[in-house]
Amino acid sequence: MAPESPPTAVRDNDLVSRIAYRNRYFDNPEEFFDRILAKTVVPYQVEVQPGRLRGRALCWMECPYCYGGSSENTGERLTPERYVDVLRQTAAGPHGGVHKIIFAGYATDPLNYEHIDDLVATSLAGNQIVGFHTKLLRVSDRFISLLASPTVPESSYVTVSVDAGSAESYNKVHNIDSTKDIYSRILENLRRLAASRRASNARFDVTANYLVTRVNATPQLVEKAIRDITDAGAQVVRFSFPQLPRGMDAEGDSIIPTRAEVQQYYATLKPVIDAHQGGSTKVMILDVEGDLHIEERRTLPCFARYLYPTIAYDGFLSNCSQSAAPHFRGMALGNLATRDFWDAFYDYDTAHFGAFLERQHAKMNASDCRCDRKEHTVNLQLRDAAKRRFAI
């Protein structure tokens, strides 16, 4: 049986809205707070960041803009069997199941995990929407055929980080000291996915992201990327700018552009990107920080854990996708190796909720967590109502 949608959630059928951070996660803040206090709130989605079992490295690459670049690999993991068990738990909670599972990474890539296909099969068997954020360096035939199944729920998607328009720029952006043509390999995998989507009339979407940095911001590279990604069959290409990851204190120290550079790149690239409107692939460029006037590293109060908690590579249920690593252990919801999902999820103090929030915020400030855009957006939407309701 399909898990019930959280009653306050609005289904995100619109691909472009999803990609442009225009999703609505709740209808009414007060009703959302009531559900938190009654412990009947159900997460809008759960993110899974599975940690590779073999080797010391967490990821395929060491990208200079990686959110999780400062993460430590303690070697703690859930077993493959426990992952399956926990995912099954998410699909059927005491107040409804989680409707959507996102497979992504903080210092990791979900497709770099040895048993990813088993996790995907488990979520699909629970009728959950599945989403992937990946570099798509490797993709198995089983993964492609799982997604091409006619029973895959609508709004499922694969988003591929391409971030380049040539083999050389790909290696530069990803800090790869080699002349290997990894760019063509990514495009080929993208092509395989998109072709399988078309051939099977499957319901998952294939989109691509391009983070504009100091080494890939020329109109020529951007033009070429749009042509290559369109040719590979992606439905949307989103250009945006990297955020400053934890562990880095100033933009401009690496390939991450400063605020002034972002404005300059945006002005140069917008007309190039706009010239591609109206084709089979939708193309957009976003400057979310500029549009929403985001200057802080985190937006508090933080409600991420009630909307999109994350299973970190070390097996802990974490507050959000950006605090899913051992150095945020003090604010984790629980260790899923030993606790069940809903037990950890509903473990918070409702009798003194304002004080509970403030204790959590002190930990967030101390651990220097940094919101991604969906987290800034949703915390901003709730901020004024939460301050009034909880007197914080």
The answer to whether the beta carbons of residues 392 and 301 sit under 8 Å apart is yes
Q: Report the nearest approach of ligand SF4 to the CB of residue 96 (Å).
A: 23
Q: Report the nearest approach of ligand SF4 to the CB of residue 327 (Å).
A: 12
Residue 369 is a binding residue for ligand SF4 (CB under 6 A): yes
Q: Report the nearest approach of ligand SF4 to the CB of residue 248 (Å).
A: 15
Residue 311 is a binding residue for ligand SF4 (CB under 6 A): no
Q: Report the nearest approach of ligand SF4 to the CB of residue 25 (Å).
A: 12
Terminal C-alpha separation, the chain? 41
Residue 71 is a binding residue for ligand SF4 (CB under 6 A): no
For ligand SF4, the closer of residues 112 and 322 by Cβ is 322
Residue 46 is a binding residue for ligand SF4 (CB under 6 A): no
Residue 320 is a binding residue for ligand SF4 (CB under 6 A): yes
Residue 374 is a binding residue for ligand SF4 (CB under 6 A): no
Instruction: Look at residue 186 and give its three-state secondary structure.
Output: helix
Burial of 228 (0-12, 13-18, 19+ CB in 10 A): buried
For ligand SF4, the closer of residues 169 and 322 by Cβ is 322
CA distances, 93 to each of 2, 4, 102, 345, 357 (Å): 12, 9, 18, 10, 24
Per-residue DSSP letters for 280-314? SSEEEE--HHHHHT--SSS-SS--HHHH--EE-TT
For ligand SF4, the closer of residues 125 and 362 by Cβ is 362
The span of 15-23, 51-59, 211-219, 362-370 binding ligand SF4 (CB under 6 A) equals 362-370
The span of 55-63, 109-117, 139-147, 298-306 binding ligand SF4 (CB under 6 A) equals 298-306
Distance of CA 98 to the CA centre of its chain: 16
The span of 69-77, 139-147, 269-277, 366-374 binding ligand SF4 (CB under 6 A) equals 366-374
Residue 333 is a binding residue for ligand SF4 (CB under 6 A): no
Residue 377 is a binding residue for ligand SF4 (CB under 6 A): no
Full strand arrangement of the beta sheet holding 282-285: 282-285, 236-240, 205-211, 157-161, 129-134, 100-103, 46-48, 310-311, 316-318, 334-335
CA distances, 19 to each of 204, 217, 238, 365, 377 (Å): 14, 21, 8, 28, 13
Instruction: Look at residue 1 and give its three-state secondary structure.
Output: coil
Q: Which of residues 193-222 bind ligand SF4 (CB under 6 A)?
A: none
Tokens linked to 140: 């198995």
What distance in Å separates the CA atoms of residue 106 and residue 109, rounded to the nearest whole number? 8
Tokens linked to 333: 């919801």
Residue 49 is a binding residue for ligand SF4 (CB under 6 A): no
The span of 2-10, 141-149, 297-305, 348-356 binding ligand SF4 (CB under 6 A) equals 297-305
Residues 304, 307, 312, 357: which binds ligand SF4 (CB under 6 A)?
Answer: 304
Chain contacts with ligand SF4 (rule: CB under 6 A)? 298, 302, 304, 319-320, 322-323, 364, 369-371, 375
